[in-house]
Structure 1
Amino acid sequence: MGVDGEQDVLRAAAMYYLQDMKMEVIARHLNTSRSTVSRLIKRARATGLVEITLRPASSRAPGLGQSISSTFGISTYVVPVPDSAEHIERLEQVARTAAKLLASWFDSDMVLGIAWGTTLAAVSRNLTHKPTRGSAVVQLNGAANNRTSGIEYASDLISSFGAAFDASVHHFPVPAFFDFPETKAAMWRERSVRRVLDVQRRADIALFSVGAVAGAVPSHVYAAGYLDDDDTRTLHAEGVVGDICTVFMRADGSYRDVALNARATGPTPEELNRVPRRVCVVAGDNKVGPLLAALRSGVVTDLVVDEVTATHLLQSVSARDAAGRVTRKLGTPVRGRLGWPGDVQ
């Protein structure tokens, strides 16, 4: 569609949604048919020019988001959902919101880092096409394990983000965990691996979720053969509650001395902190503990979370969390989008 056609889409949408004009009246203004006006309005919704959001009057989302933002010094986007919503419904609502936010942030000449997982797969299903130029999408952690290469799963996921933004795609053809730390150290010296690591270091946005060790809906890394029984027992013995990019964390956000992390291929929180925008997408009661650990580690700059999970998160927040973030809150402006639930104005 040319410039004139795009202008017609804009004019039709403005008259229909902002001026409350009927399609017949719009058709006369544009000297066209009612069916054409209907198509223009549908195109405005499909391309994201018009976004329709329902916000229940009883929603706790704005207050929840403000509380999380002020406690942890981050931008928070709380997605309203009914208390009775099933896990899959909460996940889809959060994924849809995350996909829209990502499209508003990611643009030409930018690099997007993606950590694979169930939540990110849901985000990928809700992406809409946004053409960019000179952009890249890079896989943040390896996917192979002792049961499967993991290539098809991770490749399809990463490629879907590349296709959505017309971006070049950089896969990371290494296992999720090496058998020995020495093997990882040797592989990290290989030029083919260093090339991908260099792209990761240039990321403008990192998109990830948190994995939960326990819960009714296990995270992909714990359910798909990435860990053997000895690994799982070790994680429990070391007090691990979950992971970010397959790097395991305790409830207090510590991770450096967790033995299995020496074999993990994902970026550590310290390495992720070099990325300007670090977006964590979370839905599910079993994710509250890992999410709190991630927030305590300081690795998150933007959080997209459903209303129920956000409520449980705040119930888990300690006085230490509230006090410990004061310095960071005063020293670092909280970023956000004007008018979005949870933005700190």
Structure 2
Amino acid sequence: MTGSGNGSQREQQPRITPQLLYAVGALYYLEEQTQAQIATRLGTSRPTVSRLLAEARRQGVVRIELVAPGSEDDASLAEQVRVALGLQKVHLAPFAPRAVVGASLASALTRALRSMDLQSDDVLLVGSGRAVYEVAQSDLPELPGVTIVPTVGGQDDPEPWYQTNEVTRQIAAKVGGRPVFLYAPALPGPDLHEKLMDDPSFTRVQELWGRARCAVVGVGAPPAARRSLPSFVPKDAPWIKEAVGDVCTRFFGADGQPLVFEGSDRVVSTSLEVLRAVPTVIAVASGHEKVASILAAAGAGWFTELVTDSLTASELLDAANGRLAS
């Protein structure tokens, strides 16, 4: 008897024909039988049925069509999230795989920025973080002459989304704006911080923060859910466990209020008070891991508008409704 090394009968593979692929596809997708049920019917294994379904899709015997929600559905969801989070506007992008999520969010951010009607003497602040960095790689609306200013000091990190001056330069190039750079570390030492307070280039940036008309910021996930944190963040500090997210590297707790730690008074970035004074602050954030962060930040007033994808919006609505019911 011919068998495998453990003595079991070797599975006889069915001959793959268009008819077999059609039959397996019909049983699975039309009759809604499980792969295990189909395997029993064909006298084969569940992994073989899985391979047959994959081959049916590859050959076009099975064609799967995704139908995106209509504009009315998106508008209804956006309005429900807006009300639940107490925001001015919510701009939805279709759900997209991680590899292309930046381009999808950029399209929604473009709509948000166009509605602002920014003029050449206006100031637009930009934050750091992966979401802001990813939308900076995609097409954005033309905003000729608008001054683009970073909200966070530079960080000595290899990840490009922490290089705030570079993100500022990229966005300025996309929109045709004028970049202003912030030549300061995110967390300077006491002596350097004191000198920065008197530095003309730094005070100019602070002055621009104060008269900004709009800001585009990211919302960071809880530190425990992130693959990387800015190098200045003490990863083992007790307060990190309380943090549910950050905006402009200002970490906050479940109530959305900034967390105080040693050196937090020297962090070079826009504060919650500064952002609250900006007429429109657009947060760009998506993903299951950011739902709690977005809810906390919205509740504390870190931003006034949200750019996110439809799946995250649905999760935000469920979480917000669950919080109200509890």
Q: Indicate the residue corresponding to 1:212 in structure 2.
A: 221
The CA deviation at 1:213 is 3.0
Q: How does 1:188-267 map to 2 (within 5 A)?
A: 188-214=197-223, 218=227, 222-223=228-229, 225-230=231-236, 233-237=237-241, 239-255=242-258, 257-259=260-262, 261-267=264-270
| 1:78 counterpart (92, 96, 99) | 92
Q: Which has the higher contact order (CA 8 A, sep 6+)?
A: 1
- Contact 1:144–1:150, Cα closer than 8 Å, also in 2: no
- Contact 1:209–1:281, Cα closer than 8 Å, also in 2: yes
User: Matches of 2:110 and 2:134 in 1, distance apart?
Assistant: 9
| 1:178 counterpart (168, 188, 198) | 188
Q: Indicate the residue corresponding to 1:38 in structure 2.
A: none
User: Matches of 1:144 and 1:178 in 2, distance apart?
Assistant: 10
Q: Indicate the residue corresponding to 1:142 in structure 2.
A: 153
- Contact 2:128–2:161, Cα closer than 8 Å, also in 1: no
Q: How does 1:28-47 map to 2 (within 5 A)?
A: none
Report the count of equivalent residues: 258
Distance 1:71 1:140, change over 3 A: same
User: Matches of 2:187 and 2:322 in 1, distance apart?
Assistant: 36
- Structure 1, residues 67-101: CA drift from partner, whole Å, max 9, x if none? 221123311112232xxx53334443112321343
The CA deviation at 1:294 is 0.6
Distance 1:57 1:127, change over 3 A: closer
| 2:69 counterpart (56, 76, 93) | 56
| 1:302 counterpart (301, 305, 309) | 305
The CA deviation at 1:207 is 0.4
The CA deviation at 1:153 is 3.2
- Structure 1, residues 216-241: CA drift from partner, whole Å, max 9, x if none? 654xxx445342434xx33334x111
Give me the CA root mean square deviation.
3.1
The CA deviation at 1:123 is 1.4
TM-score in terms of structure 2 length: 0.69
Q: What are structure 1's unaligned runs of at least 5 residues?
A: 1-53, 324-345
- Contact 2:154–2:162, Cα closer than 8 Å, also in 1: no
Q: What are structure 2's unaligned runs of at least 5 residues?
A: 1-66
Q: Indicate the residue corresponding to 1:311 in structure 2.
A: 314
Amino acid at match of 1:201: G
User: Matches of 1:322 and 1:203 in 2, distance apart?
Assistant: 38
Residue 208 of structure 1 aligns to a residue whose secondary structure is strand
Distance 1:149 1:60, change over 3 A: closer
Q: Indicate the residue corresponding to 2:39 in structure 1.
A: none
- Of all paired residues, the percent bearing the same amino acid is 24
Larger Rg: 2
Distance 1:255 1:316, change over 3 A: same
Q: Indicate the residue corresponding to 1:112 in structure 2.
A: 124
User: Matches of 1:310 and 1:129 in 2, distance apart?
Assistant: 24
| 1:121 counterpart (133, 138, 147) | 133
TM-score in terms of structure 1 length: 0.66
User: Matches of 1:228 and 1:298 in 2, distance apart?
Assistant: 26
Amino acid at match of 1:76: V
User: Matches of 2:199 and 2:222 in 1, distance apart?
Assistant: 32
